[in-house]
Amino acid sequence: MAGHNKSVRVLAIDPGSRISGFGIIDIVSNDCRLVASGLIALGTDESLSRRLCTLRNDLTEVIKRYAPHEAAVESIFFSKNAQSALVLGHARGVVLTVIEDAGLPLFEYSPALIKQNISGSGRATKNSIAEMVKILLKLPRKFEWKGSDQSDALAIALAHAQIRRWNKHDRTSSRSPSSEGTQPFDH
């Protein structure tokens, strides 16, 4: 049974124009293990183009350092503030480009689907998601988040792991209730 417990390393990114969160987990059988997580801070006093370069460079280094097998990101959501959505779109474009350059399969999930898979509710709060991430990764109760972007990225990674498991076990259905957005993003 060689290879039965082969792990899959997943990189998840919560892109932002000021701060981007990343989370890396190993999926081994039905277990998820934290490898690394953190924030990529994009200088608030810098131009948008400089911040995007920082995001590109730092994310490229994260990929080189941790060598993930797959990547997951939150799909586009609609914002009431068009300017914020446009700037976020730039950051997301950089993330997608870095993932493509690294040759990683990319999976995208809606915010509601991520919340549903982590907490059981598509309307869960950021605090409840952060607490569920701690539980699912067996982190110490007093684990301190550097910011919500960090816990959000790990939530994306965990949702990917759960949906991946679901799809692996449910080969009879081409579209299970929790398989929305599980196809690799078509570049």
Average pLDDT, integer, range 139-166: 92
Task: Answer yes or no: CATH 3.30.420.10 is held by domain 8-169.
Answer: yes
Beta bridge partners of 60: none
Using CA atoms of 46, 50, 55, 56 in order, give the dihedral in degrees to the nearest 10.
-170
> Which member of 58, 70, 108, 149 is catalytic?
149
pLDDT digits (tens, 9 = 90+) for 84-136: 777 788 899 999 999 999 999 999 999 999 999 998 877 788 899 999 999 99
Nearest to 62 by CA among 126, 14, 30, 134: 14
The pLDDT of residue 78 is 59
Whether residue 61 lies in the annotated active site: no
Pick from 38-42, 46-50, 156-160, 166-170: least confident: 166-170
Q: Is 174 left (phi over 0), alpha (psi -120 to 50) or beta?
A: alpha
DSSP helix/strand/coil, 58: helix
Whether residue 170 lies in the annotated active site: no
Whether residue 31 lies in the annotated active site: no
Supply the pTM of this predicted model: 0.85
> Which member of 14, 58, 70, 152 is catalytic?
14
> Which member of 26, 58, 70, 74 is catalytic?
74
Who's near 117: CB < 8 A, 6+ residues apart?
109, 158, 159, 162, 163, 178
**Sequence ranges of the domains in the chain:** 8-169
